[in-house]
Amino acid sequence: MFISFEGIEGVGKTTHVKFMAEMLQQAGITVLVTREPGGTPMGEEIRNILLVHRHERVVPMTELLLMFAARAQHVDTVIRPALDRNQWVLCDRFVDASYAYQGGGRGVRMETIADLETLVLGDFKPDLTLVFDAPAMMGLQRAKGRSSHQDRFEQEKMDFFERVREVYLTRAKSDPKRCRIIDASRALIDVQKDVSSIIHELIDGQK
């Protein structure tokens, strides 16, 4: 199984990736946890280029191409080999983030992103995508509570994150077989109950 975790900042993706990995490991499933941008030595270097504050204006197309450059390396050298070894892969963000951030946030045409997706991934997609949804203000508050340092994306204005959220919801609703929307505005324990029932469903489905 290849599972991606999506949503605006601070909705709890990283928290839930860890929670799911622990539950799967307890059930005897070998798990690989990874993230985007990143997941490989070169991908992590690209991540630093993307997140660091800079005086130079970053053109949306540059940002998009760097995301896909890191992704090409990640899929071929980490994700596919892990799936071939029958490991479950839990990925903190994947291609939906490019539609949400570079498409919704930065205004790159969705068709352009779809063309790149076809070029880099062909028809390779997560088996399941969990979209953690909460109002932008709530996500940003939680992210701020965790760390006072803001990366280049986190300094964007509220309407940027509202557009990002909107694209996530639209994509998830248009692909209900792959995507599940989870209301992440609730208390952590309630969100974890949903995640845990999804895990049980998945494990039962494998039997």
Which residues would be at the binding site for ligand Z5A (CB under 6 A)? 7, 9-15, 36-37, 67, 92-93, 97-98, 101-102, 142-143, 145-146, 151, 153-154, 184, 187-188, 191
Q: How far apart are CA 35 and CA 33, in angstroms?
A: 7
> At its nearest, how many Å lie between ligand Z5A and the CB of residue 32?
17
> At its nearest, how many Å lie between ligand Z5A and the CB of residue 64?
8
Between 86 and 147, name the residue whose CB sits nearer to ligand Z5A.
147
Q: How far apart are CA 38 and CA 121, in angstroms?
A: 16
> At its nearest, how many Å lie between ligand Z5A and the CB of residue 125?
14
> At its nearest, how many Å lie between ligand Z5A and the CB of residue 92?
5
Between 2 and 101, name the residue whose CB sits nearer to ligand Z5A.
101
> At its nearest, how many Å lie between ligand Z5A and the CB of residue 112?
13
Q: For the chain, give the longest Cα–Cα distance.
A: 54
> At its nearest, how many Å lie between ligand Z5A and the CB of residue 130?
11
Q: Do residues 195 and 19 make contact, with C-beta atoms less than 8 angstroms apart? A: yes
Between 61 and 188, name the residue whose CB sits nearer to ligand Z5A.
188
Between 1 and 105, name the residue whose CB sits nearer to ligand Z5A.
105
Between 146 and 200, name the residue whose CB sits nearer to ligand Z5A.
146
Q: What are phi and psi of 31, to 5 degrees?
A: -125, 140
Q: How far apart are CA 138 and CA 185, in angstroms?
A: 7
Q: How far apart are CA 77 and CA 64, in angstroms?
A: 20
Between 31 and 91, name the residue whose CB sits nearer to ligand Z5A.
91
Q: Which two tokens mark 170?
A: 């639209």
Q: How far apart are CA 112 and CA 173, in angstroms?
A: 21
CA distances 79 to 35, 43, 93, 174, 186, Å, are 10, 13, 13, 25, 31
